[in-house]
Structure 1
């Protein structure tokens, strides 16, 4: 079989993994994995969790084991600068749906990604992210994806928003509104893997940009038993309220929870409070994700997901751009795949660089980073071939 035919065969199998199709060359529709107990009242026909031979997997709607290989931060505004808006207008007719179908999907599949990890993108540094995709835009993807629910804005990078009072009636009403506006619309979508909450919430830490508000809970109070009980009670209320709001409107999808910053203090009380109400422990980690995710899985027994990570130069100046390190990505992906508790790795892309994030796999003129994309694609293909070999 020549290289071109091999590649078409690989992409066919990859598409099957992405949509949950049953393809004989990929795997049997039912693989005999032991399905896990999850927060999903009605998981059948949707992404869920299972174990086989001591390893955790996501399980597709057609009951095929699935390791999520995702790309984050996919925003069409990167094609709307004065210098490149002609591409947006002439090539895609000013349509986000066309751009997704004609640019995003072909590239992600060509590069070996099987998931859209999270579409929202940096707009201005230390401000809010861009909007999420609409349900019609997600349908245009026609591949697995995760969605973030804006229950709280306690992101470690965001400098404007006060903390919510998780004990208040207003907070409970807000959670119901978020679930009503997001989950009710997505509840029947079979490509949706599950819901994230806050991106790196500041439970017991802060950053210089938002030290004016402090953390959600004063870490000094954890030195006393009373303080630890209070944090456990507060976190339990937070996770129970968000869980219950989702389940009023969506009984099908996984809850992926907060995306904890693995290199900041994480209170045991928070993790223990989350455990009954989330299906996966999700982390951001730009330093040592392989070690940290192994430690958290061994400590809790729960499946873990690397929801955001990359190796790039952080301290860039306006007008300066950096690149994702493909060699680091390849090594990290392989080592995470060997962690029996890890169910996926989502690369902190972005799909196309903008002037706030300053890095991406495509530049503003849609030219790919050929060297690093090739390394990323080869790494992704290696993992997909290993999944095919095993199942």
Structure 2
């Protein structure tokens, strides 16, 4: 659930929080004041036992354990297309119900963190696969998060110039995105919430997108007027995107940008986002434990490790997911009272671009690492169950 200001959302002790708790019928949970106007029957946020939790539609605590990057194109090469045609009858429904859903559950995941996968990664051609549709999420039949393509100022994006958040065109585009994506999903209780940008370039750039620069010149932050300018810019972005969603979906959480935890990020940005998002989400392949602890401590908001992994490079150029590192990271994240979950950037299939996945392109599993990941997830589930309701 959301936070809108430390004052408005501070630790769920307001009469609004109490009233919300009673109205939802689960008095044992202190529900948070979020950006949701109608959270009943959907995922929301609350506090219990001195920590933040996702609260499921059934009113129970939920710690999201997600796998990111689930796309079937890897088994559609000429060399292995028979797996797709004969194994699944050229059917997304069969693939999702017969392969993906049972495997994710068997591996201890309770969420599809983000389905899109990198399918080409060149300096001027970095692309992800498409979003799942409402029907495909329905066939999967488990909790999931969905990304909204409001803009393209990702740190890996080098083709599109930065948007003008104050323009009429940006508002029109955001309204279209909400109509296209949120309207079909608005009544789905399995949807946890919406992500925005994958690693936004607020204050940093990478080698191939230096030509367009960051959204904001960090040198301006040396003055109070510069800090105020950044707050205005960020507030406009988060307000326009928030308002577009809420015109069509009053039910679901707003998970916001997946910030790059190892890039510059300031409280001017976070404070501007606070009234319009419910969670601070981060990508982190280096030190998610310490970074998420720091951001929760500074913001007092719930935090999500939304993407990240550690890889073990192989002689053939592929990368194994380090299940033991994931297990240690997940165990440590549970000690963060603001952490509401972890999504592994592991990928379902090891494709020929990122070359990382739990199944290879012939659907052979990495048994050793899957076992380590499964055991870590099951320990996390037992930990959630250990709290008395």
Give TM-score, length-normalised by structure 1.
Answer: 0.90
Match of 2:237 in 1: 238
Deviation of the 1:62 alpha carbon: 0.5
SS state of the match for residue 123, structure 1? Answer: strand
In the alignment, which residue of structure 1 is the partner of 2:141?
142
Whether the 8 Å contact between 1:69 and 1:115 is mirrored in structure 2 is yes
Q: How does 1:355-370 map to 2 (within 5 A)?
A: 355-370=352-367
**Deviation of the 1:268 alpha carbon:** 1.7
**Superposed displacement of residue 188, structure 1:** 0.1
Given the alignment, which residue of 81, 88, 95 partners 2:91?
A: 95
Q: Deviations over 1:109-131 (max 9, x none)?
A: 00000000000000111512111
**Residue correspondence of structure 1 range 1-391 to structure 2 within 5 A:** 30=26, 32-126=28-122, 127-313=126-312, 320-391=317-388
Using the alignment, how far apart are the partners of 1:36 and 1:215 within structure 2?
34
How many Å separate the matches in 1 of 2:40 and 2:141?
A: 19
SS in 2 for 1:351: coil
Q: CA deviation at 1:160?
A: 1.3
Question: Is the CA contact 1:43–1:252 (under 8 Å) kept in the aligned structure 2?
Answer: yes
Query: What is the CA deviation profile of residues 43-73 of structure 1, one whole-angstrom value per residue up to 9, with x for unaligned ones?
Result: 0000000000111000000000000000000
3-state DSSP of counterpart to 1:58: strand
CA distance in 1, matches of 2:26, 2:227: 45
How many positions carry a matched residue from both structures? 361
Q: Distance in 2 between matches of 1:70 and 1:105?
A: 12
Unmatched 5+ residue regions in structure 2? 1-24
Deviations 1:133-171 (A, max 9, x none): 000000011100000000011111122111111110000
**Mapped partners of 2:279, 2:159: distance in 1:** 29
Unmatched 5+ stretches in structure 1 = 1-28
Q: CA deviation at 1:333?
A: 0.5
- Give the TM-score taking structure 2 as reference length: 0.91
1:385: Cα distance to partner? 1.2
Q: CA RMSD in A?
A: 1.3
Q: CA deviation at 1:388?
A: 1.6
